[in-house]
Amino acid sequence: MRAVIQRVLRAKVTVAGEVTGEIAAGWLVLLGVGPADTAKQVDWLAEKVANLRAFDDPDGKMNLSVQDVGGAVLVVSQFTLYGDCQKGRRPSFTAAAPPATAEPLYEAFVTALKMLGVPVATGRFAADMKVELVNDGPVTFVIDAPV
């Protein structure tokens, strides 16, 4: 499981002109699922996102979690995180989990964050989404869940 997380002042996702998810300050999580991913990766990654201390404390040091600052998380599915661009000019997506595998794990990740007490908004799985965000920092991390 792979996530690109960006610290944002605000973010929203729309599908066909309809806002499906919107947050103020927090994390925008672009989430990719690999074919071998399981609930183990879901739980590890949800805990990491909920508790990663990358928000500024009163001294301006990255020392607080999204929960500490009262933030939220916007989760957007993104199979292209597993795109392989090494050969040719067209990316290969064979390293991404098929939708029947990826969707339940995406939903489990959202549920796991909620169970940790994090407010969560989402995009729509497998939809053509438009994502708007205002980066804060910018602060961006790429996190791969251990196998």
Residues taking part in catalysis: 78-80
- What's the rounded Cα separation, in Å, for the pair 8 and 139? 8
- What's the rounded Cα separation, in Å, for the pair 132 and 137? 16
Radius of gyration of the chain (CA): 15
Q: Checking phi first, is residue 98 left (phi over 0); if not, alpha (psi -120 to 50) or beta?
A: beta
